Amino acid sequence: MRNAFIFLLALFPLLVRPLSQVISKRTTNFISLDHFSATIPGAALPLFSDLSFEFSPGKKYALVGPNGCGKSTLVKQIVQRYNEASSIPSQPLPPLVTDGGIQVPPSSKHQLGYVSQSSVSLSDKSLLEECISSVRDYDKIKLELEAVQQRVADGDFEDETLNELGRLEDLFDQIGGYNLEKNIMTVLKGLSFKDEDAQKPCTSFSGGWQMRISLCKLLISRPSFMILDEPSNHLDSAARTWLQNRLSEYEGCILLISHDVNLVNKVTDNIIEFNPPSVGGLAVYKNVKSYEDYLEEKERRYLAKLAEWERNQAEADRLQAFVDRFGASATKAKAAQSKLKAIERMRKDGMLDHPGELNIVGVTEGAQLEEKRKVVRTKVKFPTPPPAGEVLMELNNAGIAYKDDAVLLDGVNLSIEAGMRVIIRGANGAGKSTLLQALTDAEDGAKVVKGDRWLSPGAKLNIFQQDLAQNLNPNVTPVESVAEIVREYDIGISDTTIRSVLGQLSLSSTAQQQKIGTLSGGEKARVALASFILKPANILVLDEPSNHVDIGTIQALANGLADFEKGSKNKAAAVILVSHDRDFVERLHCTHVCMVEEGRVKLEERLLRESDWEVEADGRVEGVAEVAAAEEEKEIVEVALTDEERKKRFNAPKRIKKIEGLVEKKEGRMQELEGLMIEMGSDVGKVTALGEESGKLGEEVEELMAEWEELEELLGGK
């Protein structure tokens, strides 16, 4: 009896202590950049130069900047240095000529966790086992703890044993303890997994679900420094909201790369602006409440620099006037020379360098600055839509199916009219893409196989899809590509106009002169977006337009769409949109909401509600039933999926697994080509040939991923 009492007393701290959220708060030996520079071998200019910054434990940073500026490269360098310091094996990166350093502590002092845009788990373990394995030394500490507990239960009450018990209890508690599986299930549910998914092998998941597995492992492991590169790209609205809340409560340090303004606003309070070396490298904005506050502070800083330059220029003009007046005077020649030297010192110190023009996007229209110069919001301008009557498109009692497959949606009746702005909402796999493909009559997508799809004789469709960039000709420049597409509809569009739009979408003049096959995925997306913007049409269709582009480009597009036909009494165009990017959607002021859930489609003429963003993993919309009962709503169509379609989903996992292998192989070859292009240096011919091969492989990967996503939808999101 006495032994049992002492045993329980020894276990008491473990039983009553809540799950620890303590993250190391050391202020020394944390990650920092020390005049770090990097250049691709053979390149004339560095990727980035003389970067210095020290991350603080517990702080949360957003790293922002245009696509292609080097954000992901810098992050990979940080991760690589950490892995080297901690003796963690990792794939080698393409060679870079570096200078300065990245100071990283070994894993014994701080843990670093990283999720990239293309994170994939090919483990044969179950999802639950894989998540448990992400917690360092969990099984080892658990076994050691149980062994010491058994010693105490057997009557070993020596101080050394009890001290060891207390130490192991603390360690076990800090990494989740006996609540770990419960915590894992909470995270899985937050990321839209179902309970039964926990026992499925990781290899059975496809598409964006692989990214979610990596994200879950990172959140469970609770490192002291967390790096996330576009973590919300494949998340539905419910998972995005959950992730925002989870990260905002996290006590460690976060470095976030994201085009999701809501995620940046909710999670971070410091913004690191990544600029090309010619602009000044890193600019840090501390304690900013939102992305909009950062933009306003950026504007204030610019205006202060402009005012300082004007003062310096006025002083230089005053000195030069003295020289011009008295330079030839025998009595004042010495003073004139002194003034000339002063001007030269100002020039040498950069005091006379003009700060340049400020290209700023997304500043809220209500922002009031007292300075004399107000910077205008960057936006793109869509051409005037051709008139085509009030009704632009109709689906009449339509049945929708993929080629040679059973009907997925039946009895669909929709009418798209000029002036409508329709947002299609629903959980991943609910059928949003299926409906969109039928509306646009996509070449390889779902079709209207019975009933009728009617298009007004004057209707002009313009479609922007996630994979549109894969159809670009890799052997031409961006300007040539855009011209080839848009002059088919408007012969008068000039190269100057095309360059202007590409510039507004943050595609540099250097990138505009390169072959498309050598551009990054984000740069290709902007070329495709420029073609979309310049093509005159009266039905604009956008499928996840904000994926793979930076915040500035997204907001320029959103501002342009918001102003499209704004104030026009006789509207001629309609906009149809699928997007999980809340900030982007809310800027468009949608007039209609089309819900796709549980095999049903419902079109309502109303504004977006908070409940529209609370889409749960099983396709239900939390709160909709209650709201619907309280409001009068206009239901357009409701349909159900067939049993045949559910059977078809059974065959999808085999094809998915094959696609995963093909993608891994092709991406491995693309990484080899990237290294070869760097080694070739200035050999333009070989670099171009390698770039074309890489571009072709990229297209093949995009095609495979498109099929991957289609199969994911057939599986109901899994």
pLDDT at 175 over 60: yes
Confidence of residue 641 (pLDDT cuts 50, 70, 90): very low
Confidence of residue 100 (pLDDT cuts 50, 70, 90): confident
Q: What is the CATH number of domain 391-634?
A: 3.40.50.300
Arithmetic mean of pLDDT, 81-91? 80
Confidence of residue 620 (pLDDT cuts 50, 70, 90): very low
- The predicted-structure confidence for 29-42, as pLDDT tens digits, reads as follows 588 998 888 887 87
Question: Averaging pLDDT over each range in 42-56, 223-237, 596-610, which range is the top one?
Answer: 223-237
Arithmetic mean of pLDDT, 425-442? 82
CA 539 to chain centre: 27
Arithmetic mean of pLDDT, 686-707? 75
- CB distance 695 to 471 below 8 Å: no
* Cα separation, 648 vs 375, whole angstroms: 55
Instruction: State the pTM of this model.
Output: 0.63
Q: Which amino acid would we find at residue 88?
A: I
Q: Tell the CATH topology of 31-126+223-289.
A: Rossmann fold (3.40.50)
pLDDT at 138 over 60: yes
Q: What is the pLDDT of residue 226?
A: 93
Tell which residue, 552, 581, 553, 598, has the closest CA to residue 235: 581
* Cα separation, 182 vs 81, whole angstroms: 34
- CB distance 335 to 266 below 8 Å: no
Q: What share of the chain is helix, strand, coil (3-state, %, to 5)?
A: 45, 15, 40
Give the C-alpha distances (Å, rounded to integers) separating 406 from 448, 583, 601, 619, 641.
12, 37, 18, 21, 10
Residue carrying the six token digits 């030297």: 341
Average pLDDT score, the chain: 79
- CB distance 662 to 707 below 8 Å: no
Confidence of residue 369 (pLDDT cuts 50, 70, 90): very low
Confidence of residue 541 (pLDDT cuts 50, 70, 90): very high
Phi then psi for residue 422, to 5 deg, are -105, 125
pLDDT at 22 over 60: no
Arithmetic mean of pLDDT, 352-363? 65
pLDDT at 436 over 60: yes
Residue carrying the six token digits 């990097």: 38
* Cα separation, 79 vs 99, whole angstroms: 17
CA 642 to chain centre: 35
Q: What is the pLDDT of residue 63?
A: 92
- CB distance 667 to 701 below 8 Å: yes
- CB distance 395 to 576 below 8 Å: no
**Residue 169 φ/ψ region, left for φ over 0, alpha for ψ in the -120 to 50 degree band, beta for the rest:** alpha
3-class SS at 52?
strand
Give the C-alpha distances (Å, rounded to integers) separating 460 from 326, 392, 418.
70, 9, 12
Alpha-carbon torsion 688, 690, 693, 698, what sign? negative
Arithmetic mean of pLDDT, 656-678? 76
- pLDDT over 90 for what percent of the chain? 17
pLDDT at 615 over 60: no
Arithmetic mean of pLDDT, 484-501? 89
- CB distance 595 to 602 below 8 Å: yes
Pairing state between β 60-64 and 447-455 = unpaired
Arithmetic mean of pLDDT, 458-484? 86
Tell which residue, 350, 272, 357, has the closest CA to residue 306: 357
Tell which residue, 546, 563, 564, 562, has the closest CA to residue 554: 546
CA angle (168 as vertex; 164, 172 as ends), nearest 5 = 175
pLDDT at 688 over 90: no
- Count of Cβ atoms closer than 10 Å to residue 54 Cβ: 11
Rg of the chain (C-alpha set): 29
Q: What is the pLDDT of residue 577?
A: 92
Q: What is the pLDDT of residue 244?
A: 92
| CB-based contacts of 174, cutoff 8 Å, min separation 6 | 20, 22
- Alpha-helical regions (H) of 207-361: 208-221, 237-249, 261-267, 291-326, 333-348
Question: Averaging pLDDT over each range in 367-371, 530-534, 691-695, which range is the top one?
Answer: 530-534
